[in-house]
Amino acid sequence: MKLTRTVRLSLGSDVHGRPRAAPWLSGGWIVPVEIDVALDGTPDKTTGYILPIQRIDQAVQQAALACPQDLEPPVWLVALRTALAPALPHPIARLTLRSHPLLERSIEATMHDRCILTLRFDFAASHRLHCPALGEEENRRVFGKCNNPAGHGHNYRLEVEVETPMGPAALQPEQVARIVNQHAVDRLDHKHLNTDLPEFGDTNPSVEWIAKTCFDWLERPLASAGGTLRRVRLWETEKTSAIYPG
């Protein structure tokens, strides 16, 4: 079982609250960040806890403020994991640093020279869910309002998770953003998916198939840049999303 705790704190200061430089934190300003800690463990039979969350909060705050902040973010996460390990009696499955709502950096338990970048993008598009093989009445029954002949629109959110090496060969967030915008977002944004994209000429542009199509578009360009596309997640609404591969 995994327990995940999100710890919110401000970096850019030392353990005494004095400002110190942190080039990756908005030019050295003291800024709020979130750190997600995922622990592997078995709940205690008495308390039901894998570990009390107050203990996780305290350990993360002490370790984060003590870690050198002149390190690159992925290396800083490795240093944080090293500092946290003695204070937490359960294995750390994953650490995530969120310094912006649209960007996360993570490392998993076995990662020492690689990290995961997760970026989020927004676009708007319209589509119609309709299967020519079905009759008009059956299409209306299956797809309801989504079968409107004029189509309908969504504000989509695309999340892209890419594994990259650390160090000089590291794939930077701005590189990932350029690739995702060029090969996916710009192709989808403000388009009628049924009529403007040949990929959906014979395929219903459901959230499931749009997610798979984005993965297919992005896998090779990201590999050419030195990254490995792990998955994409596409939200059609707040309540509906698809992940590929699942």
- Hey, which residues are catalytic here? 146, 190, 236
| Cα 164 to Cα 119: distance, rounded to the nearest angstrom | 13
| Nearest CA among 232, 14, 85, 191 for reference residue 22 | 14
User: Distance of CA 243 to CAs 5, 98, 100, 212, Å?
Assistant: 23, 21, 22, 8
* DSSP classification of residue 116: E
Whether 227 contacts 200, CB under 8 Å? no
Q: Give Cα 245 to chain centroid, integer Å.
A: 14
Residue 76, CA distances (Å) to 26, 113, 116 in order: 16, 12, 13
Angstrom distance (rounded) from CA 17 to CA 11: 9
The answer to whether the CB of 177 falls within 8 A of the CB of 222 is: no
Structure tokens at 120: 């989020």
Is there a cis peptide before residue 245, judged by omega within 30 degrees of 0? yes
